[in-house]
Amino acid sequence: ERGSAGEGLLQVELVAWPLRQLDAWRGQVGAWADALSGVDALDAQGQPLQVNLLPQAQRQPRHDPTRRWNLLLGLAALVMLVLAATQVLDNRREAADALRAEVERSARSARGVASERSELQALLDGAAFLEKQRAQRASTVELWNELTQRLPNGTYLEKLAIENNNLQLIGLSSEASQLVQLLQDAPQWRKVNLTGVLQADGAGSGRDRFTLTAELQPLPVATPAAPAAPAREAADADAKPAP
């Protein structure tokens, strides 16, 4: 087909080859002619016409020798691609698991540090509270020293207890009825009272058993002393101008 030659007409080119010449040519070629898939012709310039003059029944199908290898290579490439994708997925999954484990370890470590910090802060707060409470009243040694000086001879203590701001004394004394008066004006405590009634000691020692309570006094807050006036200012005030 060459194209259109006008309205309703086509320009075509017919290429023909006599069959007897084809048969004679096949006879000359021999068995090799049975493997042909086509026969072409040359134009006046020696260029192939890109036609197939071989009858359809005599054409042998052409097989691409590299087609099988291409299929095998394509299949191998597909398998390698799938394996590579699977490996990448496994690597990412392992990396995610490792990161998750590291985050959990860090979280446990952070929780441990926070717990230890909280315990330490609680210990510090408790120690500060106890120190504050201790600083607000006299120490046990100071209380014992004051009692030693104020309790009369013939008085023996069986128990000395300090609970919060309360002081309790239990013992025997030959002057049990005078203990409140003797201990009342101590600076370390106040509100001295006898609890219950005095009970005579059954040993015939002339002592009575007593139970005495008192409320511990807070220590007085020390006030800073006022700064003394500089001696130089006083000297300047007394000085007389020289003639």
| Shared domain check, 193 and 145 | yes
Helix (H) or strand (E) holding 211: strand 208-216
pLDDT (0 to 100) of residue 2: 54
The answer to the question of residue 172 being in a domain is: yes
pLDDT (0 to 100) of residue 221: 56
**Residue 85 domain boundaries:** 63-135
Written as tens digits, the pLDDT of the chain (243 aa) is: 555 555 667 777 777 777 777 777 777 777 766 666 777 777 778 787 777 777 777 676 666 667 788 888 888 999 999 999 999 988 988 899 998 888 888 888 888 888 888 888 888 887 777 666 665 666 778 888 888 888 888 887 888 888 878 888 888 888 878 888 888 888 887 888 888 777 777 766 778 888 888 888 776 655 555 555 555 554 454 544 444
Residue 168 tokens, joined: 């309790």
Judge whether 66 and 73 are in contact, CB under 8 Å: no
pLDDT (0 to 100) of residue 60: 67
When divided into structural domains, the chain yields a total of: 3
Cα 63 to Cα 79: distance, rounded to the nearest angstrom: 26
pLDDT (0 to 100) of residue 229: 52
Residue 28 tokens, joined: 């000359």
The answer to the question of residue 67 being in a domain is: yes
pLDDT (0 to 100) of residue 239: 46
Cα 84 to Cα 197: distance, rounded to the nearest angstrom: 98
The answer to the question of residue 241 being in a domain is: no
The answer to the question of residue 237 being in a domain is: no
| Shared domain check, 149 and 104 | no
pLDDT (0 to 100) of residue 240: 47
The answer to the question of residue 240 being in a domain is: no
Task: Report the DSSP pairing between strands 199-200 and 208-216.
Answer: antiparallel
Cα 86 to Cα 81: distance, rounded to the nearest angstrom: 9
Tell me, what CATH number does 168's domain have?
3.30.1360.100
Short-list 175, 209, 211, 173, CA closest to 193: 211
Lookup result for tokens 């210990």: 123
Cα 198 to Cα 172: distance, rounded to the nearest angstrom: 10
pTM of the predicted structure, to 2 decimals: 0.38
